[in-house]
Structures are given as C-alpha cells and as structure tokens.
Structure 1
Amino acid sequence: MRKSCVYILFIILISHPEILFSQKNSSLLWKIEHPETDKVSYLYGTLHLLDKSYIDSLPAVTEALTRAELIVGETVTDSTDLLRKVIKYTLMEDTLLSDIMDSVKFKKLNNLLKENLGVSVLYLNQFKPAMAWSMFTQAIYVQEFPVLAETNEVLIDQYFLDYANNNNIELVGLETTSFQMNLLFNRISVLRQLEILEDAVDNIDENKVLLNLMIRNYFANKLESIEADLMSNGLSEDEKNMLLRDRNREWLSKIPDLINNKNSFIAVGAGHLVGKEGLISGLRKLGFKVTPVEMSRSLNN
C-alpha cells in the first residue's frame, strides 16, 4: 500500500468519514457512566458518508438519541455560515488547480467527477487541492455504492444536529467549524494537499478497495485493526498529532463537564473512538465506565 494512500484513508477516518479500529467487544455505540453521578450518556462513532436512514436499523442508537438532554457533535454550524467558511478557507488566491496539477491527472479527475457527480473539475479550479480530493472521494463513493449514494438526502451527522434543533435539545460542538476548516485546508500545505490528490487520482482502483473495505467493515460493525498501518506509514508525528491526538485530548478536556450534568448523546467520527489515545480509553482514564452497546437491540433488553 502506498504511503499517501494510507494517508488518504487516515483523512477519511478523521474528516469524513473516520472509521475502523480494533477493540475487544466491538460496537459503534458506547454507554458512558460515572460512579459519582446518575447521568448516562452515549458515544456513537459515525461514518460521515452515510445517510440518516442507516439509523433506522439501529434501535439502540435511536433510543439513546431520544433519551438525550444534550447532543454533542464535532462541529455545530448552519448552512449559511458553513458556506461562508468554506469560501474563506478553501479558495486559492494566486493560482489555479490546473496550473499546479499534472495535466494528465487533472483530465483523469475531470472524467471521474463528470461521470459520477456531473461536475467539471474546472468548477474546483480556484479551490485548494483538498477540496478537489473531497470531491474525488465522493465520486468514487457514488461509483462504488450507487444505491447508498441515491439515498443521501441528510447525512448521518447532520441528522443528529437536526434532531436536536427540531426537538429543542441543547446542542454543543466540540470544536468550531473555523478550527476544522483551518486544520484541513491551511495547516496542511497546498503542496502536501496536491501530493495527496495526485496520488489518489493515480491510484483510483486502490482507493476503491480501501473505500469498499471501510464501508463493509462499518456495516458489519467490525472495528478491525488498521491503526498500526495508519500510525506507521505516510504521516509525520506532527501530522498525527494535529489530525487525531491533539483533537482527542482537547475533546477529552471538554466532554466530562458536558456529560456529568446531562444525559448526553455524542456523535463523532468513529476513528476518534479507539486506540490508546482515543475517546474510549481517555474517558476510562478519567474515571468513567465505558461499555459497548448492542445496537440492534433495545436499550431496555
């Protein structure tokens, strides 16, 4: 596996969809309890590409959501504000994608986007390579999973935010949209973004294999051990810290205060849940009891 393809999968796990690691007694839904309070919260690992309809097959997730007095997501923003921030952080001022990208790969990307999304790459010409890479990921998702893609009316993470707003439930983001946008589009250099994009376009079939593995494992609820590959290939220590470890540490400084006083439902990319510096391990170190929940059964069973 090429190093930059591993890096691509890492970004999927963290930013888009973020997905699968090993964990004994696996689940995507975890119950959080603390011996000094009577509050019960739930931590759910999402796959950002999926539509909300997936939740219909998971009664435990639905029930955990309905019991929530507080819903917590990675970020909380309305669509107007999101569009403004996307423009602010993703546009290139002095160059075009076509000026810096290999012409053959630029054409190959254009063909992929037109075939699957009906969008010309010229639409992205003023955007940073990471934006084009995001569209690349969506294109291969549509190509490989057309049935799933057709149902994508409301993405799963947005559904939880909408549920909070529609039911007058308090809603909190663990980080701001500006922070996340800056992280993905500014702190990773344009040249590094371009390297990732060109390698992805040059290795479409390999990326399809990775995406298929992700989706299959997620639906099968298999948190298989790919953490070692992600952590040992293609990423500098600074990049690992920036994209995963530092964010988890920051979230763990906020979550206890949120869940000590209210029954909460926390939905973040599943890649943040596990590993030695993941949320599950971190919450346990802070004194919380964190146990897996069988998602296909009612919480009352």
Structure 2
Amino acid sequence: MRISLARATFFSALFYFLLCCQTALANGLNPALYLIEKNGQQSYLFGTVHMGDQSMAVLPEKVTQALKSSDQLVVEVDLSQLTAAQLQARAFPLMLLPEGQTLASRLDPSHYEKLANYLQSQGMDITQVQRLQPWAVMIELARMAYMRAGYMPEYGVDMQLLKLAKQLQKPVLELETIEQQFGLFSRLGEFEGQMIDDALAQLNDANKYIHPLIYAWQRGDNDGLASYHRSIFGQDEYTKRSEQILLTERNRAWVTTLVPKLKQHSLFIAVGALHLTEQQGLLELLKINGFKIKKV
C-alpha cells in the first residue's frame, strides 16, 4: 500500500530484536553512508530499514567504524531502553479507538466488510482487532506482509546500531517519542477509507511495494530510493497529505534540532531511508543549511 511502507519504516521497530550471524560484505551489503561536514566538524547520515533478510544481519565495517568515531548516535526513537511491558504500556493505549467506538461503528459498511474479508484470508477474525484504530490494524498487516516477503524484524538495522552504541557507551539522542509518532496518524483520520482501500489492494504485491525498497537500500542506490519514493507518494490528496505528515514536516523539524548539535558534536544520524531522498529529504535540507555531503 502507498503509505504502509513509510509507516513500516518507523513502526516496525516495535517488533525488533537483534540476531547476528554472517558478515555483511560476504553478502554484498553496501548501504549508502554519507559524511556531513561544516567548518571542520564531521558527522554521518545513514538511512535505515527496519526489517530485512539474513544478508543484513551484520552491518558493513564502514558503518560500524563511523559510529565508533562519532560522539553520539541519533535515532528516531530509542526502543532499546524499554522493556516489553513498558513498551506495551506506552504504545497500546494510543492504538485504541475512543471509548465506545469499534471498527464496526467507525468504518462505513463497505470498508468494514472489505477489511473483515481480508483479515479472514490471513487467518484472523476482525473481532480480534475491533477496538484498534484502523491505522493500527494497517501497521500490523504491513508487518505481516514484510514477513511473508521474507523480511524479518530480527534483521532490522536500527537495533543493531543501538546495541553497538550501548557497547561503545555512546549517548543516544531521540528525535521523537513513541507518542509523537503514533500521534501522526490521528491527522490522517479523514482518509481512513482510502487507507484501507490502498492497503488491501497492495499488501500482497511485494514485487512492487516491498522488495524495491529493500533492494535499493542494500545497494546504496539513492536514485532507486528516490524513484521508489515517487512511486508510492502520488499526486492525489491522500498520498500528498501522507507525505507531508510522515516525511516532509518531520524532516524539517529534525533539521531544526540537528543543525545546532552538528556544530558542536560528531553525530551518527540513523533514520528511515526514505527520509533522505527528494527535495525535502535530509540530504537536501542539510545542504541548504551549508553542510557539505559526501557519500562514503
């Protein structure tokens, strides 16, 4: 679905744990890493994906060495410090519909029936998710789609970086909170019907909506990521609004936070890969702020 991949970019981290087994170079893994420089102060920018295959179980040495040489790791949200119980306590209430509402009362009959039929095809009953926000159901379905396509949470990049930062005793800076991230979806409530239509039409098309993102990231193909970005965010009102909320506004806010810190510290910034591309991506926004960007 058009928005599921951007959504999975930062929410599938909820399901991560680390499992390392074979070297990245042996599997041809070569994701793009960018050196950021201004007035002699150097930092790094690294786009991530939150689910992957076995080839991504260990990051390339250029990435780990860049983190080792940095003062601080910057991530969207640091979930590594939360226990499962703490994560559930903070996240689950945000995923619930307001008291007295259910999916049956929230959705129009046609979308409710469509969602119920899809869930049934996946071995689920809609009564199991009756109290969840529609977007929360879409998150879970997106996660399941990635796993059917062969990508597992245990090979996600962010948690590997967080674990290494902990081993190196590097401070971790969060750009957002879980509450802020989940709050983004309340702003898309008027498009719930289209969200469901797009999701159910595209969830099973891994060759178009899942594999290209992972493949482009594995090769460090920024042009491929940009092309993918354009393919999932169209010109209709829904996808334009989704891009604005999920990427553009957040990128601008992050740059506002990062610019003064980049003047004082060597940072290793790791955020979802789609946040780097296009005119409103972090690469261009940092250039506008006077930083030189060089692909490592």
Query: TM-score normalized by structure 1?
Result: 0.77
Query: How far is 1:7 from its partner?
Result: 3.9
What's the secondary structure of 2:261's corresponding residue? helix
**Cα deviations by residue, 1:47-99 (Å, 9 ceiling, x for unpaired):** 11237972625111111112221010012342444322312211012222355
For the aligned residue pairs, the C-alpha RMSD in angstroms reads 2.8
Flag the structure with more relative contact order, 1 or 2, with Cα contacts below 8 A and sequence separation at least 6: 1
CA–CA distance in 2 between the matches of 1:247 and 1:162? Answer: 25
Is 1:96 the counterpart of 2:91? The answer is no
Change (3 A) 1:197 1:88: same
Conserved 8 A contact 2:49-2:272: yes
CA–CA distance in 2 between the matches of 1:258 and 1:158? Answer: 23
CA–CA distance in 2 between the matches of 1:169 and 1:10? Answer: 28
Given candidates 29, 35, 38, the residue that maps to 1:31 is 35
Is 1:245 the counterpart of 2:248? The answer is yes
Is 1:201 the counterpart of 2:200? The answer is yes
What's the secondary structure of 2:87's corresponding residue? helix
Conserved 8 A contact 2:229-2:277: no
Partner residue in 2 for 1:155: 156
Change (3 A) 1:231 1:203: closer
Partner residue in 2 for 1:45: 47
Structure 1: unaligned runs, 5 residues or longer: 18-25, 294-301
**Cα deviations by residue, 1:103-132 (Å, 9 ceiling, x for unpaired):** 3531322332x4xxxx65543221111111
Is 1:85 the counterpart of 2:90? The answer is yes
Conserved 8 A contact 2:73-2:173: yes
Residues 53-132 of structure 1: matches in 2 within 5 Å?
54=56, 56-77=58-79, 78-79=82-83, 80-92=85-97, 93-99=99-105, 100=107, 101-112=111-122, 114=123, 121-132=126-137
Change (3 A) 1:52 1:157: farther
Change (3 A) 1:213 1:284: same
Is 1:290 the counterpart of 2:293? The answer is yes
What's the secondary structure of 1:187's corresponding residue? helix
CA–CA distance in 2 between the matches of 1:107 and 1:55? Answer: 36
Change (3 A) 1:121 1:278: same
CA–CA distance in 1 between the matches of 2:179 and 2:54? Answer: 25
**Cα deviations by residue, 1:27-48 (Å, 9 ceiling, x for unpaired):** 62101111x23x3211100011
Partner residue in 2 for 1:181: 182
Partner residue in 1 for 2:20: none
What's the secondary structure of 2:248's corresponding residue? helix
Partner residue in 1 for 2:27: none
Is 1:192 the counterpart of 2:191? The answer is yes
CA–CA distance in 2 between the matches of 1:48 and 1:57? Answer: 13
Structure 2: unaligned runs, 5 residues or longer: 14-29
CA–CA distance in 2 between the matches of 1:159 and 1:261? Answer: 25
CA–CA distance in 1 between the matches of 2:148 and 2:229? Answer: 27
Change (3 A) 1:213 1:53: closer
Conserved 8 A contact 1:90-1:131: yes
CA–CA distance in 1 between the matches of 2:215 and 2:187? Answer: 32
Count of residue pairs brought into register by the alignment? 268
Conserved 8 A contact 1:71-1:170: yes
Change (3 A) 1:50 1:70: same
Change (3 A) 1:207 1:236: same
What's the secondary structure of 2:176's corresponding residue? coil
CA–CA distance in 2 between the matches of 1:289 and 1:55? Answer: 31
Name the amino acid aligned to 2:254: W
Query: How far is 1:11 from its partner?
Result: 3.8
Partner residue in 2 for 1:22: none
Conserved 8 A contact 2:11-2:139: no
